[in-house]
Structure 1
Amino acid sequence: MARKDLYIDNHDDKIITSQAYFTTEELLELKRQKALAIQCFIRQCFAWRKVAAYYHAKRTKARRDAAAKALAEKKLKEEEEDRIRRRLNPRTKSDFTALYSELREWRHNQEKAIRGLNASEEEQSQLMKELLAKEVKLMQTIDKLRQRANSANKQEAIKARLELMASPKEWLTDQGDYIEVVTPYTTRASELVQLYNGLRLRKIPVEQRIDVLLNVKFTVKEFDCLLTREIITLCNRENDMINRGRSTTSLNGLRRRLENLFLQFIETPEFNPGAKNFQRAPAATTKLTKIFPKVQTELWTRKNP
């Protein structure tokens, strides 16, 4: 309370007036309303999450369905391309079985169509003859494809066998790792395989072809038998024909025979020890691979230097 002898600073004083009285019931009602607001917000958050998860699952399913559809279309396309390839270029037994099955089905449908025509017996007989001629022609085509496939499969099998024969051996170490080991057998096989591949080359210069023939000749000359003599004779004959300027077409038969004989030389264990592991049964020495005595070898060498 202000007095004359007392100074009281009321510069920062505030006038506080009492507000309306807040009862307990009103406080509980306020808490209830705030709880309802919080519950509404939480439920809204849950709803947003549920909607987001729904759309995410929908988009994921759409992408998965699109990928599955694309994969199925790709698979169907590959199967169709494979069927076309098997028709145009059959290689396996199942391919030819499918071709013969389609041929029988085609003939059955053609016969059914001919019988359904309102034609006389003579006309139907003529149509059946034409159908038979077409069938024979198609069977001849399939037989040619079979021969071509057998030849290609045989060459692939020979190539795989020779590559395996010339490849380094894999040995298992104590640490569990594999190391490649080059043995004298694999080295010998690798040299022979390189010569065989050189013989199979066609579009090479004449000088390189003559070098290959000379290498083959001196390689087989280490062993004197009927097989090696035949190889040497063919090498000399081809060399002579090349020097005479004969065409490549006239040398095809000679070269194929030389390739086959040299392949037989490679697959003979007496000349290539590495070939022993690739034989189904121990091969007996034949008349072609029997080594001649030294006297006969010297006599033959004088006549065929």
Structure 2
Amino acid sequence: YLGTSILTDSDSFQDVVVKIERPSYHKPFLGGFKNRITGAEFHNAGSQTIPKKRPDKGIQLFCRETQTVFEKNKPQQTKNTTSTQMTKIGLYVSNMSDKLISPGKYFTAEEYHKRRLEAVIVLQTYFRRWLAINVVQNLREEKRLRLAWEAQEELRRKKEKEDRLRREHERRLNAKTQEDFELLYHALELWRQEETKRINGTLTGAERKAAFCGLLEQEAQLIASIGRHKLNADEENQQKAILRFLNKCAQPKRWKAYDGKITEMDTQYTLRARELFEIYRSISMNDIPKDERIDVLLTLR
């Protein structure tokens, strides 16, 4: 214990007893500095309080360092004493298991390295031959694949050309869309120009005028034929558009659920549209019996 006085008022002091506890452990040195003039040393302090004790659980615990075993293996060659026994006076050693070794042809280090170099050259020769064979085989396979691909491409281009010509011929014979009729008019214009050029190059005078009159008459007939065909195609296209529209109106409502499944639902409007679609399709048919047509017409009343 240590007694000291504390100033409480301007002229009064109070004696206080201070209890000093000695630490039960040695604090580590954390560094510090020294005053060169006065020589006083100052140490860095990490803590001034007693460390918190862990509660005793009644179980003896060990840290990792006390449980780890450090082992070190070091090989060591022991001495082995050997000896050789020879035949001499008073001692006989059997030579039945002995082997006779005769020296071979001696060659210098230069000859040895020369043989190694020749062996390496032989190995490199066969290895490079193997690489060359692989390269040639790969080139031959690439050539075969290239030729096969070119043949397939040629067949594909030929087939595409034939399909394109067949589609153009079909479009000219059975024109249905605006592009098909433009193709017909373009072909008609090309034909007119060719005929005009032929007439100008081969005929003169009255024959030339008569040929132009005949050409004009043929052109007018072709234009009229294309016009009639266009009217029929427009009517057919309009009929198809009406059927598509009615079919779309008669389709049930569809939506995609969270699990990816498609849900369909019929409403009163889709059911009515489907009924009207069936009636319209029945009326549009020309080969139905008279009684059925009368029944369909009665449903429209």
User: TM-score normalised to the size of structure 1?
Assistant: 0.63
| Residues paired across the two proteins, number | 215
Relative to structure 1, the CA distance from residue 118 to residue 191 in structure 2 (aligned partners, 3 Å threshold; closer, same or farther) is: closer
Instruction: Give the conservation status (yes or no) of the 8 Å contact 2:283–2:296.
Output: no
Confirm whether residue 165 of structure 1 aligns to residue 211 of structure 2: no
Relative to structure 1, the CA distance from residue 122 to residue 27 in structure 2 (aligned partners, 3 Å threshold; closer, same or farther) is: same
Question: Gapped runs of 5+ residues in structure 1?
Answer: 222-305
Distance 2:261 2:200 in 1: 71
Relative to structure 1, the CA distance from residue 9 to residue 21 in structure 2 (aligned partners, 3 Å threshold; closer, same or farther) is: closer
Distance 1:118 1:159 in 2: 54
Distance 2:295 2:287 in 1: 18
Instruction: Give the conservation status (yes or no) of the 8 Å contact 2:282–2:296.
Output: no
DSSP-derived class of the 2:144 partner: helix
Q: How does 1:245-284 map to 2 (within 5 A)?
A: none
Distance 2:165 2:216 in 1: 29
Confirm whether residue 124 of structure 1 aligns to residue 224 of structure 2: no
Residue 108 of structure 1 is matched in structure 2 by 193
Residue 75 of structure 1 is matched in structure 2 by 160
Relative to structure 1, the CA distance from residue 189 to residue 105 in structure 2 (aligned partners, 3 Å threshold; closer, same or farther) is: same
- What displacement does 1:166 show? 0.9
- What displacement does 1:216 show? 4.1
Question: Residues 143-167 of structure 1, C-alpha deviation per residue, up to 9 Å, x if partnerless?
Answer: 1221121122112111211111111
The aligned amino acid for 1:191 is E
Distance 2:259 2:147 in 1: 50
**Structure number with higher relative contact order (C-alpha < 8 Å, ≥ 6 residues apart):** 1
- Match for residue 266 of structure 2 among 182, 189, 199: 182
Q: Select the structure of larger CA radius of gyration.
A: 2
Question: Residues 248-296 of structure 1, C-alpha deviation per residue, up to 9 Å, x if partnerless?
Answer: xxxxxxxxxxxxxxxxxxxxxxxxxxxxxxxxxxxxxxxxxxxxxxxxx
Name the one with the larger helix percent. 1
Q: How does 1:1-305 map to 2 (within 5 A)?
A: 8=94, 10=96, 14-119=99-204, 121-175=205-259, 177-204=261-288, 206=289, 209-218=290-299, 220-221=300-301
Distance 2:131 2:99 in 1: 48
Percent of aligned pairs sharing the same letter? 27
The aligned amino acid for 1:185 is Y
Distance 2:100 2:92 in 1: 21
Relative to structure 1, the CA distance from residue 13 to residue 108 in structure 2 (aligned partners, 3 Å threshold; closer, same or farther) is: same
Relative to structure 1, the CA distance from residue 141 to residue 215 in structure 2 (aligned partners, 3 Å threshold; closer, same or farther) is: closer
Instruction: Give the conservation status (yes or no) of the 8 Å contact 1:2–1:8.
Output: no
Relative to structure 1, the CA distance from residue 172 to residue 7 in structure 2 (aligned partners, 3 Å threshold; closer, same or farther) is: closer
The aligned amino acid for 1:54 is L
Instruction: Give the conservation status (yes or no) of the 8 Å contact 1:166–1:187.
Output: yes
Relative to structure 1, the CA distance from residue 2 to residue 161 in structure 2 (aligned partners, 3 Å threshold; closer, same or farther) is: farther
Instruction: Give the conservation status (yes or no) of the 8 Å contact 2:172–2:180.
Output: yes
- What displacement does 1:177 show? 4.6
Question: Gapped runs of 5+ residues in structure 2?
Answer: 1-86
Relative to structure 1, the CA distance from residue 212 to residue 188 in structure 2 (aligned partners, 3 Å threshold; closer, same or farther) is: farther
Taking only aligned residues, the RMSD between alpha carbons, in angstroms, comes to 2.5
List structure 1 segments (4+ residues) > 4 angstroms apart after TM superposition: 1-7, 174-177
The aligned amino acid for 2:171 is R
DSSP-derived class of the 1:171 partner: strand
The aligned amino acid for 1:213 is I
Question: Residues 21-54 of structure 1, C-alpha deviation per residue, up to 9 Å, x if partnerless?
Answer: 2322222111111111111122112212211221
The aligned amino acid for 1:150 is D
DSSP-derived class of the 1:91 partner: coil
Instruction: Give the conservation status (yes or no) of the 8 Å contact 1:114–1:124.
Output: yes
Distance 1:188 1:82 in 2: 40
The aligned amino acid for 1:155 is Q
Distance 1:95 1:69 in 2: 28
Instruction: Give the conservation status (yes or no) of the 8 Å contact 1:172–1:178.
Output: yes
Question: Residues 157-213 of structure 1, C-alpha deviation per residue, up to 9 Å, x if partnerless?
Answer: 112111111111112434455322111111111122122222233444x3xx52453
Distance 1:57 1:114 in 2: 57
The aligned amino acid for 1:15 is L
